[in-house]
């Protein structure tokens, strides 16, 4: 799957970033659990990755720090 732009509500605090929900098309998904997080770099940009569960499905959300944008990178379910 190519990185698909999505809208995400997230909490940014000193402990880090925590996605709360994301919207894909007309559907809104509540983040039930964050199962894994990691970061990498693409050129000069740091990307934050979150594997989350919602409705029995597993998703990978990516926060692109340089553009302050979110994408959906993968879906399993």
pLDDT (tens digit per residue) in 30-67: 999 999 999 999 999 999 999 999 999 999 999 999 99
User: What range does the domain containing 13 cover?
Assistant: 4-76
This prediction has a pTM of 0.93
pLDDT bin (cut points 50, 70, 90) of residue 19 is very high
Task: List, in sequence order, every beta strand (DSSP E) within the chain.
Answer: 4-5, 7-13, 16-24, 27-30, 33-42, 45-54, 57-64, 69-76
Cα angle value 15/17/22 (rounded, 5°): 150
The total number of structural domains in the chain stands at 1
* Nearest-angstrom CA–CA distance, 59 and 7: 14
Whether 1 shows a pLDDT value over 70: the answer reads: no
Strand 27-30 relative to strand 33-42, pairing? unpaired
């Amino acid at each position: 799957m190519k990185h698909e732009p999505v809208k995400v509500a997230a909490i940014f605090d000193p402990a880090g970033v925590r996605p709360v929900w994301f919207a894909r098309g007309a559907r809104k998904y509540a983040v039930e659990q964050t199962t894994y997080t990691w970061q990498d770099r693409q050129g000069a940009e740091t990307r934050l990755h979150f594997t989350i569960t919602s409705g029995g499905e597993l998703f990978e959300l990516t926060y692109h720090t340089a553009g302050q944008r979110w994408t959906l990178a993968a879906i399993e379910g």
